Amino acid sequence: MDIADEQGHETPVLRQGRPSQLPSVLEKLPLPNVVLATTETVLNWARSRSTWPLTYGLACCAIEMMATGMPQHDMGRFGVELFRPSPRQADLMIVSGTVSLKMGPRLRRLWEQMAVPKWVIAMGDCATSGGEFWDSYHTVQGVDTIVPVDVYVPGCPPRPEALLDGVMRLREKIQKAGFYRPVELDGPSVEAIMGLAEEGGGES
Amino acid sequence: MRPLISVARRPTPDSRLVAAAEIVRGHLGPRLLSISYQAGDILCLEVDRSDLLATATFLRDAPELRFDFLSCVSGVDMVSHMLVVYHLHSLSNRLTAQLKVKADAREPVVDSVSAIWPTANWHEREAFDMLGIQFNGHPNLERLLLVEGFVGYPLRRNYQLPRRRWPHGRMVEEGGPVDERS
């Protein structure tokens, strides 16, 4: 729906909002430079374009993540350039690398310290499923056993383009999400993650 | 008649290494279980584990040897026994040696050399972590790399992976993941 004023100038309206929720009175306002949308659309639009990642690298994927932040690929074009050194200031956790059983509880704690809303990208094969360290004695077999993952980026390690594509997917996901969506905060406790190691390897 | 297949000759050991070997042989006598050269420039010694501390002190302090740098302590699971290998360097005399000690396969116990070479502290902790080798007299023999509370010694040949809790509550049977479609 475009609104034309008396001089015939047309102002585009964001189309992501649900039209049924727009008040019909406002649609007919003959004002220039007016954008109509739901608060949900506007807030999700703002959130999806300023996801600040946590400064958190685990392995070789972290090198690719750094390359993605550098000028050649410039993740800052999409509002993802501000790597925050504190989980309190970060929205996005990019799990870039192998998660060992020792790192698992720490990762969970960092995720718990991040403010809601928050998102997780599992970058690379190790974070996705254990990857190369499948059936290893000391590797978490997929970071989704510890924290809820929004986007999986395959590759070993993924190229910066792949991570950028993951960021694009995350954008779409955020824009489709309800503003007041319930956030899945439950999950394995730190003690339960520690218990993964305590089930014990036997001797044959 | 010349042989059809020429066998690569072992490189002759360095003369300084031969001299060092003679000193070691003269001092240890029958306590030296085996002595050989590897690649011509590494002196390979093996002693019983009861003679380890005396041998290590001698190797460090003898003026002709002065093995003052321990670069690595490795544990090797040889199935029949556990092998502990010490890689030694003499910076002043430019010598390299490896010292081997055998231990029991199931309950390996070896004296700690961390009082002789302080760098052995973390190396021995790693060997304890991965292979369960007990180092007597170690100041702080705890796991170094693996998570606290880890059960078992993963680099032993007979180590079995634990049954694993899988995402969303599924379990993995031994030998691989369960395919729910089958």
CATH code for the domain in which residue A140 is found: 3.40.50.12280
Least confident among B138-142, B153-157, B160-164: B160-164
| Residue-level pLDDT at A116 | 82
| Residue-level pLDDT at A55 | 92
Whether omega before A117 lies within 30 degrees of 0, making that bond cis, reads yes
Contact B150 A100 (CB under 8 A): no
Q: Is the pTM of this model over 0.80?
A: no
Out of B149, B160, B176, closest to residue A201 by CB? B160
**Closest Cα in chain A to B106:** A203
Mutate to test the interface with A, among B106, B131, B150 (most CBs of A within 10 A): B150
For residue A71, give the amino acid letter.
Answer: P
Q: pLDDT digits over A156-200, tens only?
A: 999 999 999 999 999 888 888 776 655 555 555 555 665 555 555
Q: What is the DSSP letter of A84?
A: B
Q: Which residue has the higher pLDDT, B171 or B41?
A: B41
Q: Name chain B contacts of A194, Cβ cutoff 8 Å.
A: 147-149
Above 0.85 for ipTM, yes or no? no
Q: How far is A48 from chain B (nearest CA, A)?
A: 28
Contact A145 B167 (CB under 8 A): yes
Q: pLDDT digits over B117-141, tens only?
A: 999 999 999 999 999 999 999 999 9
Q: Is residue A2 part of a domain?
A: no
Q: Is residue A28 part of a domain?
A: no
Q: Name chain A contacts of B152, Cβ cutoff 8 Å.
A: 137, 200-203
Q: How far is B61 from chain A (nearest CA, A)?
A: 40
Distance CA B82, CA B112 (A): 15
- Give the E-state strand segments of chain B in sequence order: 32-38, 42-47, 69-77, 82-90, 95-103, 109-111, 134-136, 164-165, 171-172
| Residue-level pLDDT at B175 | 43
Q: Is residue A36 part of a domain?
A: no
Q: Is residue A8 part of a domain?
A: no
| Residue-level pLDDT at B7 | 57
Domain count, chain A: 1
| Residue-level pLDDT at A180 | 62
Domain span at residue A106 reads: 52-200
Q: Is residue A19 part of a domain?
A: no
Q: pLDDT digits over A81-120, tens only?
A: 889 999 999 999 999 999 998 888 889 889 989 988 889 9
Q: Give per-residue burial for B13-32: e unless 16+ CB within 10 Å, then b.
A: bbeebeebbeebeeebeeeb
Distance CA B23, CA B53 (A): 18
Q: Is residue A178 part of a domain?
A: yes
Return the structure tokens found at A98: 């192998």
Cα–Cα distance list, A101 to A190, A191, B46, B65, B68 (Å):
11, 12, 37, 43, 37
Give the B-side interface with A, CB within 8 Å: 145-152, 154, 156, 158-167, 176
Q: Is residue A188 part of a domain?
A: yes
